[in-house]
Structure 1
Amino acid sequence: MATRRRPLHQNAGSRLNFRPQESYSFEAKGRKPLPEPSSICNVLLMMVLHVCRKTLFVDTSIKVAVYGGCLFLLSLIADILPFPRSYFSSSANVFNVYFVKLGWGWTLLVAFPFLILTSYTYCCGKRELVLKHLMRLGISTCCWFFWVNTFSYIESNYGRCNPKKHSSKSVCLGAGGSWYGFDLSGHAFILIYSNLVLIEEARAIIGWEGIRDLIRNEEHARSNSDASVSNSPLRLLTEVEFLRLKESYQKFTPYIRSLFIGMTTLSVLWDIMLVSTILYYHIMIEKFISGAIAILMWFVTYRYLYALMRNLPGEGLFKYRDLNINRSVPLNKRSSSTSVKNDIPRFMGMPLYAARNVEEESQQNEDQSSAVKTQL
């Protein structure tokens, strides 16, 4: 006779209705605000900026070595085997007349407003700090003025006239003679020095797009008293400084992007005109000495003086460059959380928002779990 089978979960109801005597509760943190969706125009703009970064931010040490090699080897070849004449071989070409001869003016035209707008933003409106950053262009202008006039003085006072009737350049040329002096290339100096200054000043835009995320998260943290972003670079800013940062970033970023594109375009033009100068103007020694002086001035100021003064581009009241990568810690010694954070997929150097938000949510869940364990 078949026996009646017992239910598999005889006391399922009682177990489901069981409640612990003590209930544990914790305050859940709200999610961080998500970034606004990007439009097609913004995506295209980011692509253009990415190309500009790749074009402008070549390793400066490599670029300086290329400059030195071209000034020596290519100039030497041009002296021995003259290159065929072209549009750029004429000093009357439009790029030489309207750009190179006014080279430092064009450099200041884009670098000056870029420096003002960027420094005002990351210095949170502190005018004394903005003036300190502006001092770099003042020193660079003095270097340009001193060396260009020095080159002209050497060429005018250390030469000879053909015929040898006259001892000064002005009298010689006025009498229809030809003056042969040691004509150090002012164009080579201006083009190389301007390009190196543009590269250094443009470095303030590295990590610039990430400031938007810092502002959004910091604003959320301050309004919700969220301590999970206590390691934010903006945590030490006062309320006034934070509001100035937010306002100036939103107001000036479109102009900063446009100026950065202009700086990249000008840098490419300076490189093209430098090749033209190497191929068609002056002799090798005149160009090499001028280029060496330009490189020396750049090294003394940006690699030594400004670094010693802590006055490099991008140094303000908070740090925003290379925040996601801890280069001082070896890869095999980094924690798993750091590795996961640094492995976020990126597009053109910027972290993908979806992947970053997933990582932030997982971090919040870990914080909540640790809070529960603490109370247990």
Structure 2
Amino acid sequence: MPRPVLKHEQRKALIIVASVLGIGVALANASVVSLLAASPVEGFFRNSKNFLNVWFVKKGWFWTSLLLLLSVALNHFNSKTRAAFRGLVRWVLATLCWATMSRLMHHSDRLLGQCRNASFADPYSCRKGESVWDGIEISGHAFLLSFAFLCIAEESSALDAIYKEDVTMSHTISRQTWSQPVAKVLSALMMLFQLLWIGMLFVTGLYFHSAMEKIFGLAFGVLFWLSVVGLVSCIPENYIDAPLGQAQDKNEIVNQQQGIFGDAAKAAAGSPLNDTHMRLRNPTTHGTEL
């Protein structure tokens, strides 16, 4: 069967970001925001200087990079060379996408708009001259939050799969004493930031930017994430060789165990004890020595 383009976890993450932003936009257009005008919660989130926005969202790629690189370091120090390499490639590509999009958003308002007063050529001078700049500004929050959520979800899924598989492998028991608890803590942190990013994405859909600007931001976030996933999937599984003396996948371990048991069975078959047992079972073929 042909390999599916996206895994189940990846499709689920896409559905989550699209649904959350879509619900926020729908509620904003349905005038639900006006019903929350007197709420202190509404006042907190509508204020762009709230601590969640200042310390987390505006520094969103720093926190996301920290989690992704911690996952890479954990895999590296736990001798999971292939997983560490793929995670590092994912982070490098994602960072390039984030930097490219940051530059694009900086110039998008000027490229996609114009001032109603033709004497002003850029958004800053247009607004300073008390005129109106008609253009489409890509929502940076919608892009960053959706892109960061998808990147963390991808790394978290890979991390969980690796360390859940380790539980069934006897040769990794000595390393599990420290790597398993650390992996659990890191997975919990990733889940916490996924909840924060998806919550702030809903707030963005509810309070900030126009619907078209948020749709553009989400579309670019999904597009860049799909590009990263597609490029990483092109890396051959055996591109990075395993360290000497270590089996890197379950099939190799099973083959080794089968070889050990097979050698033990052959040794037992040729032992004197086994020969005595055969004589006891077949006295007629071995004379009357017993």
Q: Is the CA contact (8 Å cut-off) linking 1:116 and 1:134 kept in structure 2?
A: no
User: Match of 1:319, as an amino acid?
Assistant: D
Residue-by-residue CA offset, 1:257-308 (whole Å, 9 max, x unaligned): 3222211111110010011011111122221222122222222322x32122
Which residue, out of 196, 209, 225, partners 1:282?
209
| 1:45 matched residue in structure 2 | none
Q: Is the CA contact (8 Å cut-off) linking 1:72 and 1:284 kept in structure 2?
A: no
The CA distance in 2 between the partners of 1:120 and 1:272, in whole Å, is: 33
CA drift of 1:122 comes to: 4.1
Unaligned runs of 5+ in 2: 1-6, 255-260, 279-290
Find out whether 1:306 has 2:232 as its counterpart. yes
Residue-by-residue CA offset, 1:335-366 (whole Å, 9 max, x unaligned): xxxxxxxxxxxxxxxxxxxxxxxxxxxxx9xx
User: Match of 1:318, as an amino acid?
Assistant: Q
TM-score (normalised: structure 2): 0.69
Find out whether 1:64 has 2:14 as its counterpart. yes
Which residue, out of 244, 248, 264, partners 1:318?
248
Compared CA separation, residues 205 and 320, structure 1 to 2 (3 A): farther
CA drift of 1:121 comes to: 1.9
CA drift of 1:72 comes to: 4.2
| Greater percentage in helix | 2
Which secondary structure does the structure 2 equivalent of 1:91 belong to? coil
Tell me the matched-pair count. Answer: 246
Identical aligned residues as a percent: 22
User: Match of 1:198, as an amino acid?
Assistant: I
Q: Which has the larger radius of gyration?
A: 1
Show the 5 A alignment for 1:10-159: 59-72=9-22, 74-83=24-33, 84-85=36-37, 86=42, 87-123=44-80, 130-131=84-85, 133-159=87-113
Which residue, out of 130, 136, 141, partners 1:182?
136
Which secondary structure does the structure 2 equivalent of 1:99 belong to? helix
| 1:11 matched residue in structure 2 | none
Q: Is the CA contact (8 Å cut-off) linking 1:211 and 1:320 kept in structure 2?
A: no
CA drift of 1:211 comes to: 2.5
User: Match of 1:268, as an amino acid?
Assistant: L
| 2:287 matched residue in structure 1 | none
Compared CA separation, residues 71 and 185, structure 1 to 2 (3 A): same
Q: Is the CA contact (8 Å cut-off) linking 1:183 and 1:286 kept in structure 2?
A: yes
Which residue, out of 106, 114, 120, partners 1:160?
114
User: Match of 1:65, as an amino acid?
Assistant: I
Unaligned runs of 5+ in 1: 1-56, 219-233, 235-244, 325-363
Compared CA separation, residues 74 and 261, structure 1 to 2 (3 A): closer
The CA distance in 2 between the partners of 1:135 and 1:88, in whole Å, is: 35
| 2:196 matched residue in structure 1 | 269
The CA distance in 1 between the partners of 2:87 and 2:168, in whole Å, is: 25
CA drift of 1:96 comes to: 1.2
The CA distance in 1 between the partners of 2:198 and 2:250, in whole Å, is: 30
CA drift of 1:197 comes to: 0.7
CA RMSD of aligned residues (A): 3.9
Q: Which deviates more from structure 2 when the two are superposed, residues 105-114 or residues 254-263?
A: 254-263
Which secondary structure does the structure 1 equivalent of 2:138 belong to? coil
Which secondary structure does the structure 2 equivalent of 1:297 belong to? helix
Q: Is the CA contact (8 Å cut-off) linking 1:192 and 1:295 kept in structure 2?
A: yes
Which secondary structure does the structure 1 equivalent of 2:106 belong to? helix
| 2:182 matched residue in structure 1 | 255
CA drift of 1:310 comes to: 3.4
CA drift of 1:63 comes to: 3.2
The CA distance in 2 between the partners of 1:268 and 1:116, in whole Å, is: 23
The one of the two structures with greater contact order (alpha-carbon pairs below 8 A, sep at least 6) is: 1
Q: Is the CA contact (8 Å cut-off) linking 1:157 and 1:168 kept in structure 2?
A: no
Which residue, out of 164, 169, 172, partners 2:123?
169
Residue-by-residue CA offset, 1:46-92 (whole Å, 9 max, x unaligned): xxxxxxxxxxx983313312433444464244234252340212212
User: Match of 2:233, as an amino acid?
Assistant: A
Residue-by-residue CA offset, 1:127-170 (whole Å, 9 max, x unaligned): xx845541210100001111232122111333234655422123
The CA distance in 2 between the partners of 1:261 and 1:113, in whole Å, is: 13
| 1:354 matched residue in structure 2 | none
Compared CA separation, residues 308 and 210, structure 1 to 2 (3 A): closer
TM-score (normalised: structure 1): 0.55
